[in-house]
Amino acid sequence: MLRGFVTSIVLALVMPQLAMAETMSFGDSIGMLAKSCGAEIVANCRGVNPDSTRLKECLSRNRDVLTPQCQTDYLAAFDAIQKRVAARVTVANACSREIVKVCGGSTKETSKSIPCLISTPKGISNNCLKAVDDAGYR
C-alpha cells in the first residue's frame, strides 16, 4: 500500500514537469525523494495535491517531524528538479540558430526540434550540444 502511494506521488510529480551543468534526472530526483521521504509524505502530506510545489510546501511546513535524511534530500530533490527545468528552458536560447537553420523548426516550439538536434551533430554548436546534454535530452 505504502509503495503504491509513493509510486503515485512520484509519477504525479514527474508528469507535470515533463519537461546543470550536471543536472540530476527527474527520475533520480523523485527516486531520492521517495526513498528518503516516502513515510513522511504518507504520514504528513496525505490529501495534498501531489504536484511538486504543494508537496514541497507540505514538507516545509512539517519540517520539525521529518527525519534528518528527508530534510536534506527533499531540498536537494526539488533543487535538482528546478535545475533540470531551467536547463530545458536554456536549450531554446542556446540552440535558437540551430533550431531554425539546421532543423527548420521554430524557437516557439523547441521540443519539436529536439530529435533533430540530437541526431544531427553537423552544424550544431558546442554550446547547443552542452545545453541539450544538461537538459537530459541526450
Average pLDDT of the chain to the nearest whole number? 80
Predicted model pTM: 0.65
Q: Is the pLDDT of residue 18 over 80?
A: no
Q: Which three cell numbers stand for residue 109?
A: 516550439
- Range with the poorest average pLDDT among 20-34, 70-84, 115-129: 20-34
Kindly report, residue by residue over 61-114, the tens digit of the pLDDT: 999 999 999 998 988 888 888 888 888 888 888 999 998 988 888 878 888 888
Write the DSSP string, 63-125: GGGS-HHHHHHHHHHHHHHHHHHHHHHHHHHHTHHHHHHTT---GGGHHHHHHHHHH--TT--
